[in-house]
Each structure stands twice: as structure tokens, then as C-alpha cells.
Structure 1
Amino acid sequence: MKMTSIPVIDIAPFLAGTPEGREQVAAQIRQAGEEIGFFLIKGHGVDQDLIDDTYAAASSFFRLPVDDKLTIRQPPGNIPRGYTPFKGETLAASLGKAAPGDLKEMIDIGPVDVPVGEYYSGPEAGYYFYKNLWPEKPAGFQGTMETYYRRMNRLANDLMAIFAHALDLPENFFFDKLDKNISALRLICYPEQDQAPEPGQLRSGAHTDYGTLTILMADKATGGLQAQHRDGYWVDVTPEPGTYVVNIGDIMQIWTNDRWVSTLHRVVNPPSEVADTSRRHSIVFFHQPNYDSIIETLPSCFSADNPSKYGAITYKEHWNYKWNATKAKM
């Protein structure tokens, strides 16, 4: 039967700690990971006031004059911080596809509460722990985003424990690969479209996410997210009130030897008749391993009959290749 919507999974029974609840949630996650790599979660425990405050702060920033937004423009090179103007990224390029710039603007925020030490500031660290660039307006923006980042990191760790359980591994299996993670919070605005897109131009071109998993909060504005089923057709991803969209990233696909899928997804344009009034915002947390984590097939995901399809790679090598390919030359 053709899938028309992605599954909704209540993770509260896992977080509550009962053996039956943990297995029930893990089984649902396992099925979603294998079939489409996308699902909605509820029962996640994130306070709705924090969600609302974060969304409001992001929306307020994107409604500022362009000159105000450019005060935190992303530095040149591969520094993943600050504001990227409209059409400044082409996500399809991360898969080697040629396309016009994506119809969005965004802010990238990296780790907060960064410790002192060689691991975080030495040559190998590159720009992964580079200082964040904070705007003066709107008031309270920095504090709100730092609080939200911390809460998303905690939720991502909860999800990784569920993933480990679903893959027949100890629930703390991934933690030493994530304890110095380089996760990113991205705020995205897809503005109203007052002119027709170029051929092949989308709000976000089709791509996969680089890390372990992604946690998305978005509104229901026309022109939204779609995920590609393993059978090749596209499924609309529509958040329900109180839920997050979660999707599997490249690293989980490598770790599971293609058992779980890092799903191709895109953000489509609104219909032309409403394009000039359809404005969309998304708050996205990209959970990513430590930069020096070795990414190779998990012990529960290969055998003599099912050999590993991937050689070992550091997350740093994977991320650098993907990130550099997406940046528009402006």
C-alpha cells in the first residue's frame, strides 16, 4: 500500500523507562527507519513555551531590514555560522546536482557552552566550535537560541538511545561518539515569492542530511517538506500540533549498512496563485557526531552474508565534503 503520510510515534513510553514501553517505541522507530527514514514524534517532553519563544524570535529576526540581518553575515570560507542571504545555498549540490540557489535565507548556530582545550580550539577542530554570531535585534535572541540548542541536544541524545535499542545495541552505545558533538541549529525563512522560480529551483533542493538525525519544527504554510519513499514517490511531511519531524541522516545509513535510509527530501514551492503570500519558517536541529568519530558499519548490521558496504571515514571528512559543495558562489 502506498504511504500517504509519515508515521507518528509517541516516545514517552520509552522515556518513562518501562521494558514494554521501550521495546514498543524501538520497534516503531526501527520500522520507520527501514521504510522511509522520516517520522513525527510526540511525548518528547519539550516545553511548548520554549518552542513558541524560539519560533517567535526567529520570525522576528527574518522580518528585520536586510542591512540589520547582514550584520551577522556568514564569514567567507567554510565557517558554518551566521546569516546566509536569500539564494545563498544550493542543497542539491551536496549530491552533485546542478541547480539555482535555494529560495530561502537562514542563520546557522553551532555548539554553545564550548569548553576550553585543544580539542575545541586546536588545528584539528577547524571551525566546528567557532564562536556564534549573534544579532543585536530582536532582544533576547541569543539567550532563547542557546536554551533551545541545549534542549534539542538533550532530545537528540534521547533519540540516539532509542536508536541503539532498536539496533540491538546497548542504549549508551553512541554516547562516546556524541559527547563532543558539532551539532547545528539552523533557522530558515522561505519568503513570499513575488516572481516565478527558475526551472528546477525550489525552496530547498532535494538532499539528504549529513549527520545522525534531524529534528524539525515548522509551520504549515503552503509549499512544504516532502520525503522520498524508498519506492521512489514523494510523501508530504506535515507536522501535527505538539510534534517534531525527525529524519535519519547519512551517518545512520552508513552505521546501519543501508538498513536505515537517509531519506532524500526537499521543500517545494507554493502554488503560483498563493506564492506571493506564502511565507514559511523552520527551526532545524542537525545532530552530528564528534568531528573525529570514526564512522563505520555497526557490529549488529553486518555479517558474512551481509558484508559492510562502507569503509571507515571520520565525520569531519564527510561533513567537509557535503558542506563545501552547497555554498553558493556570491
Structure 2
Amino acid sequence: MTSPNGPTLLGVDVLMVATMLSGIAAMAVMFAIYTATSVRDPMIKRVKALNDRREQLKAGITASTSKRRAKLVQKNEAADRIRTVLSSLQVLQDSQVKAAQQKLLQAGIRSKEWAVAVIFGRLVMPIVFGGPMLYLVYGTDQFADWSPLKAYGLVAGTFIMSYKAPDLYLKNKIAKRSAAIRKGLPDALDLLVICAEAGLTVDAAFHRVAKELGRAYPELGDEFSLTAIELGFLADRRQAFENLAFRTDLDAIKGVTTTMVQTEKYGTPLASALRVLSAEFRNERMMRAEEKAARLPAIMTVPLILFILPVLFIVILGPAACSINDALLSGK
């Protein structure tokens, strides 16, 4: 085997390792460029779905084609079978269904049929995952060396996590969607103020804001577009604002809907009320940013000690160590 020509560290050619790392970095840069240039518009699918919903409301039908109608019928039959099973077991309650439907709407899932699927998942997943774990722990010798308390904790944890898995999934989606809506709400209120002062109606203003902010904040644009459609079709305009508050898990949206309802009922100036709310939400967003910035030094302490300082020591002391190693090897 030929000895390396360049400097070495612990018998490893430093130039070869640097070349490999440079190649990996170049591949990562090319992949990042490809990912950035191939991003799809997140609003295309949402706008298409909202337009389909608009056409359905206009025509008074539940589907536009026979293929989609057959698919909806199949979904309804599956949901009805699940509902029948849960009703026979006496575990299906109206309050649970309504709570599950609200969580689905807050997570951005429009189909209410999935509510019974969520409840069915709470019933089935402990059996699917907890049953095999119970058999592995107490029916086989896979965990024979574990203590009784440790084995019981594994089985109990599997049952609990399986039962909570649907709720945890929905909670995660709700948190992400709420954070995205909260981030774009001050800008949306500013645009609503501009639209109101320009003389647009409320439903036209919501539609305009959804169109302008749909690319930057697709979740907020989705909610505002649906609200604009409901304002144009529902007989009671207050119900459209209440539906907006029902579909989002944010106190800020509830404050906006309350303001809109009071404006519709008492005829108070809309622009001034929205301007106050926008300033309040913008100050709140700035306070959250300052809070995160204040926590940053404490959060960066552990990565600094574990990752940054060792790399810094290698960069500073590495050439000296290579030179010393080569000198010792040449002296021998």
C-alpha cells in the first residue's frame, strides 16, 4: 500500500478527506438549488378546491361528475359502516363527533366524515399496537431480562400512545396551521383596512385579501377565501364569521370575527376597528419575536459546546497536529 503524500492526522490523509467533504458539500448545494427551483405553488390546489366548492354551492349538488359522485358514495358507505360499528359498541357520542369535527376543521381537513374515523382509530389502534406488544412482553422471552416495572411501563406506554396517536397527530397539524395563520393575520388586517377604506364590501374585501396573501400565507388565504364564499351564499352573514372562528384555534381570529359581527349589527366603522386590531396583533408578534431572541443565547449554549467548539479546535489545532505528526514520523 502506498503511503499518503499529503499531511496526515492519525494515519488519515487530510487532503483526501477534505476532497470527499467538498464533493458532499457540492452535492448538497446542487440539491438545495434543485429543491428551491422546483417548489410548487401551494395555492393552486387550494384555489382549485375552493372553486369546485363554489360551483357545487351554485348548482346545489354534491359532486360535479359521476366519478366523484361514486367516490363520495363509497366514502359515505365506509363512514356509515364505521358509525354503525361504533354505535353498536355504544362508544359513539354526539359531543365526541362534534369535537372531532372541529379538530379536523382546525387542522385544515374539510371532510367531516373523518370524525368517526378518528374515534374509530382511538378504539382500534390500542388493539393493533398494544396487543402485539402485550404478547411480546408477557408471552415470549424477548424481554425476559427486564424488570416487572419496566415491562409494565413499556406495555402501558404502548397502549397510551396508541390511544392518543390520532389526537396527537391532529394537535400537531392544528398547532402548525394556527402558527401560520397567526403569522399572517396582521398583514391581512392591514389589507382589510385598505379594502374597507377603498369602498369594497366585506365579502369582496375578504376575497381580495385571500387573493393577495394566498401565496405568502396559504392557510390564511384558504380560510379567507372560504369565508368570502360563505358571505356570498349564506343568508345569515353572521354565521360565516362564526364559521371562521369555529375553523381556527386562535383567540385573535375570534376577536376579528367579533369585530366583524358588531360592525354588521351596529354599523360601526370597520376600518378604525380593524386598524386597532392590526396594531395590537403586530405588537404581539413583535413581542413573541423578542421573546424568542431573548431565549436564543441559552438555547445555543449546548450546540456551541457540543458541535461548534470541537470543530473550532480541530480547525485551529489540526494543522499543528499534522505538522508534529509528520515531524515525528520523519524523525523515526
Using the size of structure 1 for normalisation, the TM-score is 0.23
Q: Which gives a bigger RCO, structure 1 or 2 (Cα 8 Å, sep 6+)?
A: 1
Please identify which structure carries the higher strand content.
1
Using the size of structure 2 for normalisation, the TM-score is 0.23
